[in-house]
């Protein structure tokens, strides 16, 4: 697993474990915002997102929007 | 201070609140009801002669030396077994008593060698003292028979047993029973033939069940059981109270010294974590501190292919600072990072994270807690509001049900395990606590003398969440939840959501049995017992955290405790048993990349500004890299320099090949350690470290107890570790001028609300303090969340079971789980350099008889252990301690390197590695694997110093 693939795996794993949250997309986005370093956040934005689950992909998009807004 | 043994009050303190006043030798004394006359006399400063009594075990009344006279009573009762009564008038010294005592002592001495001048205990012998105290001047008996001239037992590497000097007081037997709880010793024979025996007559100490905790040696009033070091060096002449540097129990010891030579470590009775007990590691295994393989000079090399070159400290600091600056200039500040150590002091850890944040200019700092208890940080912060255990160790005395999950306390936390076992056995007519063990292995505590777990749930590794959810299902669906507690203390809506989830039929024990392999009826009974058995306390370890759902499991545990109201008072709680001595402290000190000391997120502007103003720098508001992320970034070519203090990541972290690839990709690896550890194979700079005996500071144990570590000898390497980090910071241009670790603690207290009331002066006064130490709790906080949770309302979190992606299959049909053993510690860097190798000289693979037979494997055979990540060889032990389909090994020996086999899978929330579940295959082996051979060659090459002389 290279770094980009590992980040997709990690995002999906977070999404699976937060699936029972009231608002899984926000929960995943918030988790990544709080615990991933900037390069990891950038890498997952820049690389192929095809492997992301629906919730993980939505969370990554949410992060990008928050980042752009900031 | 000059040497004096700790005062011995003869019998234990009474816990009664009722006071009793009596008169002893004409002086009134008031003591708690239930105290013995001996104790009362001792508390008023009167020393009644005694031999068989000592204050860390029940009175025995056998030596007949402590006789007293009591007005209105016939005879001369033993003061150790006679409780005080109001108005009692006692005389401890009369002509009649003197005559009786002299007669008793004369009998003892008539059968004791008169070699005091050459005896190792000369000057530190209670028999000698008491002979003097009773005024014995001659022995009239012409003894024909005696028990003298018996062969000594030298089999234990740390202490000798000389039966000829034994006075048959049974203190050693009682210490083994009452203090340690192993019950290894007994009295064999009668009369002259009476002899302390470690099991059968054929057993010596080493061959017996003795765990070498030292309790018997400490209890012995003569030289019968005595430390080999005292025999070799002589008795100590001074002592310093300090804290053990091994596990998270954090035992207090007296380092007993002769000059700068450590003679022995004796457990300190006033130590609040250990209450006068010890284990084989803390008591005896400190020889590594003077081991010949210790590196005492800084060393550098341009590349890891070269031999090391010894340099002076000045050159080492200048070179290191220049390398870090070069890399920062070339690759950017995010290319640098650091790892703090759970083995180092709070002050040292704080400085390393400060160096990274303020000096390197990023938050790339992590700690070895990443690979053990980071899920505890996440899970307990989320549910309760703070990342720490809820109780003190004393709390277990009030527990009615003890639930142990994923922990092996008799091996990992032996001194606390002894206290737990005492509660489980029951005492003084009080029924023992009930025990539930959730563990894939039948750990020793499941069944040991006078202890048998009511329920052992031998779950399939990786199914903790499923088991805990099934328990929650039983508690909620059978109406056993404590709704009053939940309504008052927790968020009811969150509880309702959680309760609805766990109540679903899919979460029933019956439905989950095919997944967990735990009998549904047994699980139901365990859940009922925990919910209804009185005070329920949960103790857990790395078998909870080191999973892909480690954080979920911690939260599932917290859910159970809240649902049953088992939080906020003595006897209950959620208690992580921390692996290393300062895991709690390293986490508290801001070692994680996302948070500052006191668990405040780096994105919290107010917290950040507090540090920025104090340190005069601006801090990066974004979290930094965690250890596995650092290694990934290194392989990607963007992370280039790492300062590792007191950790051996190549040995301890999972998937060794990935760790070595990451380290090999860096341009500057700085290892700050006692020895050329495995990580140092890939290091460019080696900064020699000091041991816990050579520095001042504090450790924080698993019960949040901040305890002093005191310097008892000059650092052999010349500098305490905090000085090394400070000198490096100064070389990098930082204006640091600490003259003593107390000043670092003052800074920690200034910047960390939960440490606000902590200072070295306070610690000297109190002995120790449990954080939070604040204006509201100036003496610390033994029990957390008493009136409410730190976060306000307790938070129930739905934890759905998600199976690990590490799957068994035809190629790798067995599940490997890893752990530790009593005599060794973590990667073994310390304990492998002590006589503890006598107990565990190699890592062994435990395999069930059925799995062994399928593969033609017998105990003692060399086997190959292979996973998708790598393979190694080791010897097998066939045992039904593990279930069919499960194998187990330890990771203490570099030659085995169990982590070659473990994988990159990790906890979803924290990246804590999934050490506890690896799909493996076992097969017969005909020699070391290619990896092992290559690694041995690498080790030899990497450890060359100057002219190619291997360092070890």
Minimum Cα–Cα distance from A43: chain B residue: B633
Q: Do A16 and B908 touch (CB under 8 A)?
A: yes
10-residue mean pLDDT profile of chain B (952 residues): values are: 84 95 97 97 96 95 95 96 97 96 94 92 93 92 81 95 95 96 92 86 87 96 96 95 95 96 96 96 94 95 95 97 97 96 96 98 93 92 93 97 96 95 91 97 93 96 97 98 97 96 97 97 98 98 94 98 97 93 94 96 96 97 95 96 95 88 97 96 97 97 97 96 98 97 98 97 97 96 95 95 94 92 87 92 94 96 93 94 93 84 92 93 90 89 76 52
Distance from CA of A38 to the nearest CA of B (A): 7
Nearest to A37 among B549, B622, B802 (CB): B622
- Provide Rg for chain B, Cα atoms: 29
Query: Is the backbone of residue B334 left (phi > 0), alpha (psi -120 to 50) or beta?
Result: alpha
Query: Is the backbone of residue A17 left (phi > 0), alpha (psi -120 to 50) or beta?
Result: alpha
In terms of Cα–Cα distance, which of B918, B860, B915 is closest to B886? B918
Minimum Cα–Cα distance from A32: chain B residue: B909
- The pairs formed by A13-18 with CB atoms below 8 angstroms and a separation of 24 or more are A13/B548, A13/B908, A14/A56, A14/B908, A14/B909, A15/A53, A15/A55, A15/A56, A15/A59, A16/A53, A16/B802, A16/B908, A17/B549, A17/B552, A17/B800, A17/B802, A17/B908, A17/B909, A18/A55
pLDDT for the residue B946:
86
pLDDT for the residue B881:
92
8 Å CB contact between B429 and B447: no
Taking 3-state DSSP, the helix, strand and coil percentages for chain A, each rounded to the nearest 5, stand at 75, 0, 25
Residue B241 backbone dihedrals phi, psi, to 5 degrees: -85, 130
Distance from CA of B911 to the nearest CA of A (A): 9
Q: At what angle do helices A24-35 and A54-69 cross, to 10 degrees?
A: 60
By three-state DSSP, how is residue B350 classified?
helix
Mutate to test the interface with B, among A6, A24, A39, A43 (most CBs of B within 10 A): A39
Q: Spell out the residues 6+ positions from residue B767 whose beta carbon is closer than 8 angstroms to its own.
A: B241, B252, B270, B271, B272, B707
pLDDT for the residue B4:
86
Whole-angstrom distance, CA of residue B388 vs CA of residue B702: 8
Chain A residues with CB inside 8 Å of B657's CB? Answer: none
Q: Do B552 and A17 touch (CB under 8 A)?
A: yes
Report the mean per-residue pLDDT for chain A. Answer: 92
Minimum Cα–Cα distance from B362: chain A residue: A37
A21/B contact by beta carbon, under 8 A: yes
- State the SS3 of B202-214: CCCCCCCCCCCCC
* Per-residue tokens: B401: 């049900």
Distance from CA of A63 to the nearest CA of B (A): 14
- Provide Rg for chain A, Cα atoms: 11
Whole-angstrom distance, CA of residue B402 vs CA of residue B535: 8
A11/B contact by beta carbon, under 8 A: no
pLDDT for the residue B451:
95
By three-state DSSP, how is residue B912 classified?
coil
Q: What length does chain A have?
A: 70
Instruction: Point out which residues pair with B195 in neighbouring strands.
Output: B188
Whole-angstrom distance, CA of residue B272 vs CA of residue B767: 8
| Predicted model pTM | 0.95
8 Å CB contact between B492 and B500: no
8 Å CB contact between B674 and B731: no
CB contacts under 8 A, A 43-62 vs B, are: none
Chain A to chain B, count of Cβ pairs less than 8 Å apart? 55
pLDDT for the residue B1:
47
pLDDT for the residue B874:
94
Chain B residues with CB inside 8 Å of A14's CB? Answer: 908-909
8 Å CB contact between B384 and B521: no
- Tell me the pairing of strands B705-709 and B871-878: unpaired
ipTM over 0.90? The verdict is yes
B909/A contact by beta carbon, under 8 A: yes
In terms of Cα–Cα distance, which of B624, B635, B630 is closest to B647? B630
- List of chain A residues with pLDDT < 50: none
pLDDT for the residue B157:
97
- State the SS3 of B229-254: HHHHHCCCCEEEEEECCCECCCCEEE
Q: Do A20 and B548 touch (CB under 8 A)?
A: no
Residue B469 backbone dihedrals phi, psi, to 5 degrees: -65, -40
pLDDT for the residue B951:
52
Nearest to B632 among A3, A17, A35 (CB): A3
8 Å CB contact between B114 and B85: no
pLDDT for the residue B900:
87
A36/B contact by beta carbon, under 8 A: yes
pLDDT for the residue A31:
97
Mutate to test the interface with B, among A3, A8, A13 (most CBs of B within 10 A): A13
Nearest to A40 among B548, B594, B629 (CB): B629
CB contacts under 8 A, B 483-502 vs A, are: 501
Minimum Cα–Cα distance from A14: chain B residue: B908
Q: Do B623 and A37 touch (CB under 8 A)?
A: yes
Whole-angstrom distance, CA of residue B531 vs CA of residue B527: 6
């Amino acid at each position: 697993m290279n770094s980009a693939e590992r980040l997709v795996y990690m995002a999906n794993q977070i999404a699976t474990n937060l699936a029972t949250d009231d608002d899984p997309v926000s929960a995943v986005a918030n988790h990544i915002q709080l615990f991933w370093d900037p390069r990891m956040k950038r890498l997952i934005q820049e690389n192929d997102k095809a492997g992301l689950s629906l919730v993980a992909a939505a969370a990554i998009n949410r992060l990008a929007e928050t980042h752009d807004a900031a | 201070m000059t040497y004096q043994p700790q005062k011995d009050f003869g019998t234990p303190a009474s816990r009664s609140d009722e006071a009793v006043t009596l008169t002893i030798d004409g002086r009134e004394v008031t003591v708690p009801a239930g105290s013995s006359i001996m104790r009362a006399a001792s508390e008023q400063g009167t020393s009644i002669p005694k031999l068989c009594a000592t204050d860390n075990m029940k009175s025995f009344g056998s030596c007949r030396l402590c006789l007293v006279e009591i007005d209105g009573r016939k005879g001369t009762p033993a003061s150790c077994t006679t409780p005080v009564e109001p108005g009692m008038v006692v005389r401890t010294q009369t002509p009649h008593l003197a005559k009786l005592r002299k007669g008793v002592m004369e009998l003892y001495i008539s059968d004791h060698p008169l070699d005091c001048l050459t005896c190792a205990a000369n000057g530190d012998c209670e028999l000698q003292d008491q002979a003097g105290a009773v005024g014995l001047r001659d022995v009239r008996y012409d003894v024909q028979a005696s028990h003298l001239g018996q062969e000594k037992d030298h089999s234990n590497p740390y202490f000798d047993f000389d039966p000829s000097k034994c006075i048959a007081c049974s203190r050693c037997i009682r210490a083994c029973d009452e203090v340690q709880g192993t019950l290894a010793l007994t009295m064999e024979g009668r009369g002259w033939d009476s002899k302390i025996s470690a099991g059968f007559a054929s057993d010596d100490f080493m061959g017996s069940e003795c765990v070498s905790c030292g309790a018997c040696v400490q209890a012995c009033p003569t030289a019968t059981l005595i430390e080999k070091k005292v025999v070799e060096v002589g008795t100590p002449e001074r002592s310093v109270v300090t804290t053990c540097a091994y596990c998270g129990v954090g035992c207090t010891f007296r380092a007993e010294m002769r000059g700068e030579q450590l003679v022995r470590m004796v457990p300190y009775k006033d130590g609040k974590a250990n209450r006068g007990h010890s284990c084989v590691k803390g008591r005896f295994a400190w020889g590594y501190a003077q081991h010949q393989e210790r590196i005492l000079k800084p060393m550098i090399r341009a590349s890891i292919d070269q031999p090391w070159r010894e340099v002076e400290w000045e050159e080492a600091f200048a070179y290191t600072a220049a390398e870090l600056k070069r890399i920062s200039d070339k690759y950017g500040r995010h290319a640098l990072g650091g790892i703090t150590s759970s083995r180092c002091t709070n002050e040292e850890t704080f400085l390393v994270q400060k160096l990274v944040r303020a000096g390197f200019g990023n938050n790339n700092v992590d700690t070895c807690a990443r690979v053990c208890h980071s899920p505890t940080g996440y899970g307990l912060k989320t549910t309760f509001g703070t990342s720490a255990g809820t109780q003190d160790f004393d709390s277990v005395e009030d527990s009615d049900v003890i639930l142990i999950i994923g922990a092996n306390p008799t091996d990992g936390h032996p001194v606390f395990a002894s206290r737990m076992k005492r509660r489980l056995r029951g005492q003084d007519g009080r029924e023992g606590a009930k025990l539930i063990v959730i563990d894939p292995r039948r750990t020793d505590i499941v069944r040991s003398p006078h202890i048998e777990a009511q329920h052992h749930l031998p779950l399939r590794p990786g199914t903790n969440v499923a088991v805990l959810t099934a328990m929650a299902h039983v508690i909620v669906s059978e109406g056993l939840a404590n709704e009053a507690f939940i309504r008052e203390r927790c968020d009811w809506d969150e509880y309702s959501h959680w309760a609805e989830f766990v109540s679903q039929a899919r979460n029933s024990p019956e439905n989950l049995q095919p997944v967990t392999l735990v009998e549904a009826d047994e699980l139901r009974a365990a859940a009922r017992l925990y919910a209804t058995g009185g005070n329920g306390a949960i103790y857990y370890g790395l078998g909870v955290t080191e999973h892909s759902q480690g954080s979920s499991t911690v939260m599932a545990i917290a859910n159970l405790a809240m649902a049953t109201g088992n939080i906020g008072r003595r006897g209950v709680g959620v208690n992580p048993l921390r692996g290393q001595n300062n895991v709690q402290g390293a986490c508290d000190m801001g070692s994680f990349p996302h948070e500052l000391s006191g668990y405040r997120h780096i994105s919290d502007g107010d917290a950040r500004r507090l540090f920025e103003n104090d340190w005069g720098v601006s801090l990066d508001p974004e979290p930094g890299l965690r250890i596995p992320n650092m290694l990934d970034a290194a392989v990607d070519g963007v992370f280039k320099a790492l300062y590792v203090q007191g950790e051996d990541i190549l040995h301890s972290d999972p998937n060794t090949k990935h760790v070595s690839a990451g380290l090999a990709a860096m341009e500057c690896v700085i290892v700050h350690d006692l020895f050329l550890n495995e990580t140092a194979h890939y290091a460019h700079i080696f900064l020699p470290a000091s041991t816990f005996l050579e520095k001042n500071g504090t450790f924080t144990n698993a019960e949040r107890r901040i305890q002093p570590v005191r310097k008892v000898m000059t650092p052999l390497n010349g500098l305490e570790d905090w000085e090394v980090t400070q000198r490096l910071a100064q070389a990098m241009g930082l204006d640091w001028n600490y003259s003593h670790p107390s000043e670092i603690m003052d800074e920690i207290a200034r910047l960390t609300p939960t440490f606000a009331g902590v200072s070295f002066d306070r610690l000297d006064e109190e002995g120790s303090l449990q954080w939070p130490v604040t204006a509201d709790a100036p003496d610390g906080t033994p029990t957390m969340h008493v009136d409410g949770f730190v976060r306000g309302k307790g938070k129930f979190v739905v934890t759905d079971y998600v199976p690990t992606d590490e799957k068994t299959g035809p190629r790798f049909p067995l599940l490997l789980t890893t752990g530790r053993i009593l005599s060794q510690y973590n990667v073994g860097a310390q304990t492998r350099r002590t006589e503890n190798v006598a107990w565990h000289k190699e890592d062994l693979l435990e395999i069930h008889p059925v799995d062994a037979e399928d593969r033609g494997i017998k105990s003692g055979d060399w086997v190959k252990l292979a996973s998708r990540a790598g393979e190694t060889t080791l010897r097998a032990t066939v045992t039904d301690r593990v279930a069919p389909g499960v194998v187990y090994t330890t990771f203490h020996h570099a030659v085995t390197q169990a982590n070659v086999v473990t994988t990159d899978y990790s906890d979803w929330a924290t990246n804590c590695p999934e050490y506890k579940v690896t799909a493996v295959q076992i097969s017969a082996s005909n020699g070391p694997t290619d990896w092992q051979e290559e690694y041995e060659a690498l080790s030899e090459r990497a450890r060359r110093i100057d002219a190619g002389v291997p360092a070890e």
